[in-house]
Structure 1
């Protein structure tokens, strides 16, 4: 696992001074992220014929029959005890017929595969309903991100101290929530079945986004400290942000004086918070440079 950088950055618009004023930050639902191709469940079927056949072929026909008979009423069981041995052999043959590759194909085509689109939709809706994502970057000098996420450099960057407990609440080694994880950038390939969907789908993006150097933290939306509705009818989930998790503010090339004053005032009112470093992006000889104020 890659070491988390000491500081990670959030590019924001001028209006997001409310993060500093209220010490609350949004964890965004997957559907509300800006890449429409994220979490694209590209599997072609729920389960392949081979996977289904492999699972069924491990079943013991004799055990299946005995377990089924045990569920019958006592009179029914008594009646079957008087059946000739050939009857049991007949049942074994029927079970084997039902679990043949030919029949498995029929079951998959008629009863399982038609539900693929519905399953995709339910998985996507489930992720969107239950998981929130905080997106941060390890680089504070990316011009496209200043343009796209900080209102064409009129906004600012909030730098976070990743050693803060807020970012380190992992509950177990297998926990996918409550800690920072580096986004994996790779070209998306069509998948055969659900079993090929990777466990860490929520931290995967296409390689075309690699310039963002993104890290993510996932939280359950049920743990949000506040939920508000926007005029557009969207639900926004906010989580309490510790004041001492904020370590730096970087103003953009085009940040207006009124925004700088508002941000500076908000920082001064986070008491006590002397550790917050104020900086500004400037035009350097070969690109953006960050200069401490």
Structure 2
């Protein structure tokens, strides 16, 4: 961490950034998947999963909803964030220019980047100059110049951001993939749409596995986010950026979907010869807690796939789907 970063950490919070955000943002952040298992539907063509457990984080083009990651906000004005930045800098700039220690530390860092070293004697000399009346006057003039340039620079940056917003959004989306899971392993529509009309299978994952969280020191952040089903548009993109990734129309509500995002550059395997590209992540065997085979799953393949799954070190519970026509439901039958 550089001297400037350390300096900013010492500044008091002068503006509550939460005021810029819609209350839904906090609700989304605080909504945690509390179930023990989350489920992923697979077509029978993905039988390779049993011998090599992998999941795909899909690009926008591979998702089934044509309106995925599209415009669900009425405007893109960044006035609130622009004011926030100006407010923060109006406090931090005077404090920075008044800190001789910071100025000397930044001088030392700059010299080091250019292969030079600020000796203790030179450091003392710099501190003496800055503490002199002439040094104070010089820094005051520099501060005035910086303050005069602050507003037009910030305005220019945000004007360009708003002008090129669609391109910026695409740049954000393009390098990222979505892993979609659900709360329900026995949903008839999802078996029809995503598991080959009962010929495929559903994998249950341990929802509390480290794969679904990020730990930074003592802080743990849950990565699964609940999809919002609504036709409403947020007033301003910046009020709720989650609308870009987590909103679908109410017609998809039966999916009970949760999502996780990853950048493609971290994938364990990439297939770049197809469109859209395929990016796969390896799954730890202990993360697999259950397997549901569809009611039309090939019995011979079922036995072989169970053996392949066990050979990876996974110890899931196995189930076969049964159609209860009298009740109009799908039921799970344990495989012993």
**TM-score with structure 1 length normalisation?**
0.70
1:123-171: CA deviations, max 9, x gaps? 1332121x22211111111111001100111101111112222223344
2:73 and 2:282 map into 1 onto residues whose CA distance is 37
What is aligned with 2:39?
A: 9
Cα distance, 1:154–1:55 mapped onto 2, change above 3 Å? closer
Cα distance, 1:243–1:54 mapped onto 2, change above 3 Å? closer
Higher helix share: 2
What is aligned with 2:126?
A: none
Is the CA contact (8 Å cut-off) linking 2:318 and 2:334 kept in structure 1?
A: yes
Cα distance, 1:179–1:45 mapped onto 2, change above 3 Å? closer
Is the CA contact (8 Å cut-off) linking 2:38 and 2:181 kept in structure 1?
A: yes
The answer to whether the aligner puts 1:286 opposite 2:332 as a matched pair is no
The answer to whether the aligner puts 1:127 opposite 2:173 as a matched pair is yes
What is aligned with 1:185?
A: 229
Residue 245 of structure 1, CA deviation:
0.5
The answer to whether the aligner puts 1:136 opposite 2:181 as a matched pair is yes
2:166 and 2:172 map into 1 onto residues whose CA distance is 10
What is aligned with 2:258?
A: 215
1:67-112: CA deviations, max 9, x gaps? 79848xxxxxxxxxxxxxxxxxxxxxxxxxxx9xxxxxxx99xx95
Q: Which ranges in structure 1 are unaligned for 5 or more consecutive residues? A: 72-98, 100-106
1:7-45: CA deviations, max 9, x gaps? 111110111122222222111123321111122124454
SS at match of 1:34: coil
- Map 1:45-84; keep pairs closer than 5 Å: 45-47=75-77, 70=145
2:304 and 2:50 map into 1 onto residues whose CA distance is 10
2:82 and 2:51 map into 1 onto residues whose CA distance is 59
Equivalent residue in structure 2 for 1:150, among 195, 199, 203: 195
2:53 and 2:308 map into 1 onto residues whose CA distance is 10
Residue 3 of structure 1, CA deviation:
4.2
**TM-score with structure 2 length normalisation?**
0.62
What is aligned with 2:27?
A: none
Is the CA contact (8 Å cut-off) linking 1:161 and 1:246 kept in structure 2?
A: yes
Q: CA RMSD in A?
A: 3.6
2:322 and 2:209 map into 1 onto residues whose CA distance is 29
Is the CA contact (8 Å cut-off) linking 1:9 and 1:159 kept in structure 2?
A: yes
SS at match of 1:37: coil
1:175-222: CA deviations, max 9, x gaps? 87x62222222223264x442343463222222211111122222222
List 4+ stretches of structure 1 deviating above 4 A: 50-60, 66-69, 111-116, 172-176
2:264 and 2:62 map into 1 onto residues whose CA distance is 14
- Map 1:215-254; keep pairs closer than 5 Å: 215-231=258-274, 233-254=275-296
What is aligned with 2:66?
A: 36
1:202 and 1:156 map into 2 onto residues whose CA distance is 26
SS at match of 1:248: strand
- Map 1:99-110; keep pairs closer than 5 Å: none
Aligned residues: 248
1:195 and 1:36 map into 2 onto residues whose CA distance is 23
1:262-292: CA deviations, max 9, x gaps? 4223213213x3x311101111223111111
